[in-house]
């Protein structure tokens, strides 16, 4: 199975919202579409699924245009759309029948997913009575009730508290184990970094960065140094050319040019009888890469 997007383009008036986007997803897993609000993520998703027409280019699944008939996809839009005046289980069964399921199969699938997400107790309640987080879970169940091959999640973590975020994390991990193809958009870099194997960074409709996340980070090398010391090392760090990125309660993170710079600074610390409690050299975070790439364009 394969999702292929070729030269996808969308223009509104004189503004190019998505500019010749191309990518291919040949194996199950999570592909992250990342970027700030207005980068073109939602428009891209809508064109891929045929909800919005493209001005140029196309998206195919196994070589065929994507429609509800050719591909049983599941789509959770950023603008949530459950029926607040309807009972939870009734509308989930309804959504399942819209995707060709029998009422019996739809009910069985919905109850199974409700159990996985811990919302079975709300099955006979009206959706408007649920918290925002639980409404979002119901929206996700509606997305998955028909067991789609391709799952598209537009800002799925928006508005979730830490507990529900962890529940969604676990479900996505399970879906990956079930060999699902997942396209997920987000402007929250830390959530994408946790489980996206591949990503596309959009800015102003253009692709700034694309590829395997591990390879992208490795290409930057070791650019960060995290240290914890009893002594104040700020003066030594500044005189050695280290740039402070973040100061936390008991440790500091610095920008470095590579391993050699980190090693030389460690030698300097020891020469001053300072022995770090923590000394970690690491690759940059996705957030830092994003800020750098967007800054280069601007």
Non-local CB neighbours of 42 within 8 Å, separated by 6+ positions = 77, 78, 154, 185
Inter-residue contact 274 to 298 (CB < 8 Å) = no
My answer on whether 209 and 245 are in the same domain is no
Q: For residue 117, what pLDDT is reported?
A: 92
My answer on whether 90 and 233 are in the same domain is no
My answer on whether 144 and 202 are in the same domain is yes
Q: Tell me which of 193, 218, 243 is where a domain ends.
A: 218
Residue 290 lies in a domain: no
The pLDDT tens digits for 85-119 are 999 999 999 999 999 999 999 999 999 999 999 99
Tell me 126's DSSP state: B
My answer on whether 152 and 237 are in the same domain is no
Residue 263 lies in a domain: yes
Name the domain count of the chain: 2
| 133 vs 125: CA distance, rounded Å | 15
Q: For residue 298, what pLDDT is reported?
A: 55
My answer on whether 262 and 159 are in the same domain is no
Global pTM value: 0.85
The pLDDT tens digits for 179-211 are 999 999 988 787 778 878 899 999 989 999 999
My answer on whether 108 and 173 are in the same domain is yes
| 218 vs 70: CA distance, rounded Å | 38
Return the closest-CA partner of residue 251 out of 288, 280, 272. 280
My answer on whether 150 and 208 are in the same domain is yes
Inter-residue contact 35 to 207 (CB < 8 Å) = no
Domain span including residue 26 = 3-218
């Amino acid at each position: 199975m394969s999702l292929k997007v070729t030269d996808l383009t969308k223009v509104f008036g004189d503004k190019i919202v998505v500019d010749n986007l191309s990518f291919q997803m040949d194996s199950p897993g999570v592909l992250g579409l990342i970027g700030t609000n207005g980068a073109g993520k939602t428009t891209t998703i809508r064109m891929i699924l045929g909800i919005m027409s493209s001005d140029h280019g196309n998206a195919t699944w196994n070589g065929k245009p994507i429609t509800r008939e050719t591909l049983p996809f599941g789509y959770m839009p950023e603008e949530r759309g459950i029926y607040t005046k309807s009972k939870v289980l009734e509308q989930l069964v309804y959504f399942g029948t819209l995707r060709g399921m029998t009422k019996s199969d739809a009910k069985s699938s919905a109850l199974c997913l409700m159990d996985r997400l811990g919302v079975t107790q709300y099955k006979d309640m009206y959706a408007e009575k649920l918290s925002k987080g639980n409404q979002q879970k119901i929206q996700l169940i509606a997305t998955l009730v028909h067991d789609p091959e391709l799952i598209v999640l537009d800002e799925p973590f928006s508005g979730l508290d830490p507990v529900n975020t962890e529940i969604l994390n676990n479900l996505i991990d399970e879906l990956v184990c079930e060999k699902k193809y997942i396209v997920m958009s987000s402007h929250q870099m830390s959530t994408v970094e946790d489980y996206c194997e591949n990503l596309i960074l959009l800015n102003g409709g253009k692709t700034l960065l694309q590829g395997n996340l591990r390879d992208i980070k490795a290409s930057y090398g070791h650019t960060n140094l995290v240290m914890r010391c009893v002594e104040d090392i700020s003066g030594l760090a500044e005189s050695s050319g280290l740039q402070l990125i973040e100061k936390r309660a008991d440790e500091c993170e610095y920008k470095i040019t590579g391993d050699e710079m980190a090693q030389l600074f460690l030698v300097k610390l020891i020469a001053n009888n300072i022995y770090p409690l923590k000394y970690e050299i690491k690759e940059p975070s996705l957030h830092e890469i994003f800020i750098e790439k967007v800054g280069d364009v601007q």
